[in-house]
Each structure stands twice: as structure tokens, then as C-alpha cells.
């Protein structure tokens, strides 16, 4: 790992202090974008219809619901005020991986019992490995704080929690945890859940020293991407690999961003138009398709098994239209970016440049990942829309009887 920066002039500290106002302007812009009509990420500017359904299937969510109720009961009145939002609140969209959480009930100021109650909600929604990844992401945030000498800004508990709606057996509700390098969103309707957007990253991705020495994340996501790109023939690689390098000077300006790196679907990009490009699943062999699905599963399997299996069925239905994009090399020392994009899933993986650590170009020890649901179902919005339309039709039917 490259040398760290520390002290008041460290570039990462300057970012959070925001001396030139770049990130403050980004937050203000986010507030404006959150009030725009939500469409979702699309390939051509229009939502592809009939991709998602109210199926009501999935693992039993009663434990998740009771965990959320117990969390709310554990909070003081002012904390509940900070935590609670309507299920259709635009605050779902006001997240950023680059900042301290600007709103919500702060885990930093909670008691240990309140924090554990908040984490019980997350645990009840995820597989064991998925919850481990979330917790290790939080721990590595403190590792970064140790490295740069600023745990006030970077710490294990510098995150916020929201509950959207009221935990219910048959009404939509949800939760979201957000802060630096971690955003997880979960819409719940009966036994059906939607868990995007989810952003997980770390700088560094492995703790060599400190309180959480030995902790690491995102190794499987990196390895599964390499397994897939290495399985491709030269002709397939030529179609999938858009650029052989992800260094700033080797990419067009529209392919790299000061905060997002090569990510296209990061914070404040809920209505992004992102055309399909790269190598489609229809051009893969049976064995290569299995590697593509294995890559996707490293992200989807963060959900509990009953929900992940349903989500993977949804993804398999569109495997021919699932595109792989790659930038960078694919040997053991290479830094790279990849994107998996279909009508029902968007995954991005990016080796990032330094923010708090002293590397101007991307390095493997700073990684960002994001998973989204295109065509209007981030935050479970399409499921919510269908539910409200069905409920409205039922009400009208009752009135007309």
C-alpha cells in the first residue's frame, strides 16, 4: 500500500472540509435531483415495462419487521424523529458514499444497545456473508481514520439509519444505512424485498495494522471479475475491453470523474441514461455464462438466501441481454473497472485513485462497487408503484360496489 497522508493538509481531509466547495455543490445538486420525478436508470431514456412483478415470494420477513420495531422502540423521541421518513420520501435518494451521513439517526451518537438494534435490521435482511461484508466495511472506515489520524470524520460508527414507512406485514416500508463507503437500501413489501442501490467500498480494502487488523473486503468480487474476463477468447475480449488502461490520461474525460472514478451509476445518478455496450451474454458459451452468473452472485448473495435465489431467477431471464464492459488489464497486478448491465441489474467495480492515501492513479487497495436495479426499481420504486396502483384499484372497486 502506498504511503498515507495525515494532518490538516491531507487531500482526503481537505475533501471533507471541502475547501473549494466542490462536494458542497454536489450535495446541493443532489437535493435538487432528489426532487425530480424518479424514472430510474435506463438504457435509452425510457423505462422498459413489465420487468418486475408483485410476486409476494421470498424468505419470511417477520424477523426483519420485528427487528425494525424493536429498533424504533429503543430510540429516544428526537432520534425517532431523525430516523423516520414516509415510505415515498425523497431522502431515499439523498445519499453519497463520499460524505459523513448528512441526515438520519446517527449510529455515532447511539448507545451500544441502540447500535446493535440498528444492526439487527441489517442482519435480518442479509446472508451471513453479506452482513459480514457490511460490518467489515464499517470497520475498514475506522482503519482509514487510524491511518490518517482522524477518527472524528472516519470511524466504525459514523453512519446513519433511516426507517421508511412503518414496519408492516402487508404495507410497504424499508430501511437504509448510509455514510462513507457504505449505502444499503432495502424496500420491504410482505415477503418481497428490493435491496438497491447498494454501494460498498474501502480505502484500504485490507487492514494491515490497527484495531481491525486482518479485516478485508471485495476480494471475491475482484477474483470473479478476473475469472470471467480471462475466460474470454481474444475476439470476445476485444469487444468487452473498451480501454486497456484506467489511468486518468488514458481515458476520455467522460469516462472518469473526480469523485466517482469510472463509475457511471454512483450517487445522484438515479435517472442516468446509460446505453448498453460491451460483450452481451448471447455471445458467451455455456461455461462463460456460468462465470458471469457467478460474478453476479457475489453481489446478489449478500441478500438472504430466499431473496437472493428469486433475484437470480430474475437476472437469468435476461442473461442474453446482460453486457460485460471492462477497462484496464487482467493480470494479478492490474487495476481495472468492470460493469455488468442488463435490463434488471447494474453492477460496477472500480479500482480507485487515492483520496486519503497518496496515490494519484488507481490502486487495488482502494475499491468502489455499486449494485443497482435499472428501469425504475431502485429503492423498490416499481414494486411500490404497482402496490399503490393495485391498492387504488381495490379501493375504487369497493367504492363502485
Q: pLDDT tens digit string along 268-301?
A: 999 999 999 999 999 999 999 999 999 999 999 9
Report the share of the chain in percent with pLDDT over 90.
82
Beta-carbon count within 10 A of 60 CB: 11
Mean pLDDT of 331-351: 98
Output b/e per residue, 14-42; b: 16+ Cβ within 10 A: ebbeeeeeebeebbeebeebbeeebbbbb
At residue 32, the pLDDT reads: 65
**Span of 3-7, 35-39, 390-394 with lowest mean pLDDT:** 3-7
At residue 76, the pLDDT reads: 98
227's CB contacts (< 8 A; 6+ apart) are 291, 294, 295
At residue 395, the pLDDT reads: 57
Distance CA 40, CA 389 (A): 18
For the stretch 233-256, pLDDT in tens is 999 999 999 999 999 999 999 999
At residue 20, the pLDDT reads: 52
Distance CA 199, CA 339 (A): 14
Residue whose cell numbers read 458467451: 284
Decide if pLDDT at 217 tops 50. Answer: yes
Distance CA 121, CA 236 (A): 43
At residue 11, the pLDDT reads: 43
User: 277 and 264 in contact (C-beta within 8 Å)?
Assistant: no
At residue 31, the pLDDT reads: 59
Decide if pLDDT at 398 tops 70. Answer: no
218's CB contacts (< 8 A; 6+ apart) are 200, 201, 202, 205, 349, 367, 369
For the stretch 99-156, pLDDT in tens is 666 689 999 999 999 999 999 999 999 999 999 999 999 999 999 999 999 988 899 9
Mean pLDDT of 369-394: 93
Whole-model pTM: value is 0.93
How does the average pLDDT of the chain come out, rounded?
91
Query: 126 is written with which cell numbers?
Result: 442479509
- The β-bridge partners of 177 are 161, 184
At residue 392, the pLDDT reads: 74
Amino acid at each position: 500500500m502506498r504511503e498515507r497522508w495525515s494532518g490538516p493538509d491531507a487531500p482526503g481531509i481537505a475533501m471533507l472540509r471541502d475547501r473549494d466547495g466542490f462536494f458542497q455543490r454536489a450535495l446541493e445538486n443532489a437535493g435538487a435531483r432528489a426532487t425530480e420525478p424518479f424514472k430510474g436508470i435506463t438504457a435509452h431514456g425510457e423505462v422498459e415495462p413489465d420487468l418486475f412483478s408483485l410476486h409476494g415470494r421470498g424468505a419470511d420477513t417477520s424477523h426483519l419487521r420485528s427487528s425494525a420495531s424493536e429498533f424504533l422502540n429503543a430510540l429516544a423521541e428526537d432520534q425517532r424523529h431523525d430516523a423516520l421518513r414516509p415510505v415515498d420520501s425523497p431522502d431515499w435518494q439523498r445519499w453519497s458514499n463520499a460524505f459523513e451521513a448528512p441526515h438520519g439517526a446517527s449510529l455515532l451518537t447511539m448507545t451500544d444497545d441502540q447500535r446493535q438494534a440498528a444492526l439487527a435490521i441489517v442482519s435480518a435482511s442479509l446472508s451471513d456473508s453479506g452482513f459480514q461484508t457490511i460490518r467489515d466495511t464499517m470497520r475498514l472506515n475506522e482503519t482509514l481514520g487510524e491511518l490518517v489520524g482522524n477518527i472524528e470524520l472516519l470511524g466504525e460508527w459514523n453512519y446513519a439509519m433511516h426507517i421508511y414507512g412503518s414496519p408492516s406485514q402487508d404495507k410497504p416500508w424499508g430501511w437504509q444505512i448510509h455514510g462513507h463507503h457504505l449505502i444499503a437500501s432495502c424496500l420491504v413489501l410482505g415477503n418481497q424485498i428490493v435491496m438497491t442501490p447498494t454501494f460498498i467500498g474501502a480505502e484500504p480494502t485490507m487492514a494491515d495494522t490497527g484495531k481491525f487488523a486482518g479485516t478485508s473486503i471485495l476480494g471475491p468480487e475482484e477474483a470473479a471479475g478476473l475469472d470471467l474476463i480471462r475466460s474470454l477468447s481474444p475476439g470476445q475480449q476485444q469487444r468487452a475491453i473498451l480501454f486497456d488502461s484506467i489511468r486518468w490520461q488514458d481515458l476520455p474525460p467522460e469516462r472518469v470523474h473526480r469523485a466517482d472514478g469510472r463509475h457511471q451509476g454512483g450517487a445522484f445518478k438515479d435517472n442516468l441514461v446509460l446505453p448498453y455496450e460491451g460483450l452481451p451474454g448471447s455471445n458467451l458459451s455455456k461455461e462463460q455464462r456460468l462465470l458471469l452468473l457467478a460474478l453476479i452472485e457475489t453481489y446478489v448473495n449478500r441478500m438472504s438466501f430466499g431473496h437472493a435465489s428469486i433475484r437470480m431467477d430474475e437476472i437469468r431471464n435476461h442473461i442474453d441481454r446482460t453486457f460485460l464492459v471492462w477497462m484496464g488489464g487482467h493480470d494479478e497486478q492490474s487495476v481495472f473497472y468492470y460493469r455488468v448491465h442488463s435490463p434488471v441489474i447494474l453492477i460496477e467495480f472500480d479500482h480507485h485513485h487515492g483520496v486519503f492515501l497518496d496515490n494519484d492513479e488507481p490502486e487495488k487497495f482502494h475499491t468502489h462497487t455499486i449494485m443497482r436495479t435499472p428501469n425504475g426499481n431502485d429503492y423498490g420504486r416499481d414494486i411500490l408503484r404497482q402496490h399503490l396502483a393495485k391498492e387504488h384499484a381495490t379501493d375504487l372497486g369497493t367504492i363502485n360496489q
